[in-house]
Amino acid sequence: MNQKILVIEDNREMLENISDILKLASYDVIGASNGKEGIQLAQSSSPDLILCDIVMPEHDGYEVLHILNKNKKTSDIPFIFLSAKAEKSDFRTGMNLGADDYLVKPFDGHELLTVIEKSIQKNHMLKTSFRDTVWGQGFIEFKDRESKELSKLIKGKQKRTFYKKEIIYNEGDTAHDIFFISNGLLKTFKSSTDGKELITGLHGPGSFLGYVSILGNVAYTESAFTMDESEVFQIPKNEFLNTLGTNKEISTYFLMQLSNRLIKSEEFMVDLAYASNRQRTASVLNRLHEQFHNSQDLNSFIELSRKDISYLVGTATESLNRCLAEFRDEKIIELCPEGIRILDFPKLKKIIY
């Protein structure tokens, strides 16, 4: 069955041109001439992807995305903005709302189809991203003394639920709180001037975010973004700092966390300088599996887009794809529609070291 794309565009000529290109590429196309109609069609027809203009009558593109993100039935649909505006503020507004990409008019058919294919593939890779591993565990019960002390930071705090593709905080925002993830998957990233992302980490249940900025008394140095519906506890800055000053176990824990971040940053810099793409790729695959899987279960997958993995490796997507193809040919991994399956852990680790 062909994939279905909803195009929301008030310019009739533009709507017809986009529809013609998509139909030639064997997509089923549904058209809407305003935001209200687009919302209704998205909810009734369950498209595989939505292309949406920003400036429209009956709800603009930002309002359309906001409304769809609040509905569990439509929040998972990849969403791409179409706009004649190319200001950085427009990119940021769209991406902060949870858009998957942003096309600036005029664009050609190849560019349109490439962005659509990448967005659909990324959505497929993330649909079950790590959900069958640790995400069903809910709140992590701490067992040792240090962890029991840490649980006091969360006790009594209200748990907030964030939808998939929501920003928890933005790079540059004033750091008022730290955050504890009790359920879900988040990524932290830094943005370049042209809107591209550099992923700085993937974080699951049991992780604290934002404490580096609080301890350094600076604005948030990265953005935090939900890749799945997530449950998060918010801890005010003053309460966190007061606890550090009175609780040895908690202050020791966060000192160790800072040390680990520094060590990992130094290791990454050394890898960039001296390790080959093969070594860095193998290291990232191994780390992703160990971080999000409880065992070396060969039936489990690393389900993350190639683009995101390439950011973690510190290489171009094309270079990553060549490494993955080599690993596949060497029977170290299997490349599947669901993701990447590691077949030979000893051989993978041998590449790293």
Whether 149 and 261 map to the same domain: the answer is yes
Tell whether the model's pLDDT for residue 76 goes beyond 50: yes
Q: What is the tally of structural domains in the chain?
A: 3
DSSP SS3 for 169: strand
Whether 151 and 238 map to the same domain: the answer is yes
Whether 230 and 284 map to the same domain: the answer is no
DSSP SS3 for 173: coil
pTM of the shown model? 0.52
Confidence band for 286, pLDDT divided at 50, 70 and 90: confident
Give tens-digit pLDDT for 77-90.
888 988 876 555 66
**What is the distance between the alpha carbons of residues 299 and 297, in angstroms, rounded to a whole number?**
5
Rounded average pLDDT over 182-192: 84
- What's the domain range around 99? 4-127
Whether 235 and 139 map to the same domain: the answer is yes
For the chain, what percent of residues have pLDDT higher than 70? 82
Q: Which pLDDT score, from 0 to 100, does residue 293 have?
A: 56
Whether 107 and 164 map to the same domain: the answer is no
Q: What is the pLDDT of the chain when averaged over all its residues?
A: 80
* Residue 101: how many other CB atoms lie within 10 Å: 17
Give tens-digit pLDDT for 32-47.
999 999 999 999 998 9
Confidence band for 261, pLDDT divided at 50, 70 and 90: confident
Give CA 303 to chain center in angstroms: 11
The 3-class SS string of 203-240 reads ECCCCEECHHHHHHCCCCCCEEEECCCEEEEEEEHHHH
Q: Do 62 and 150 contact (CB within 8 A), yes or no?
A: no
Domain end point (choices 127, 153, 184): 127
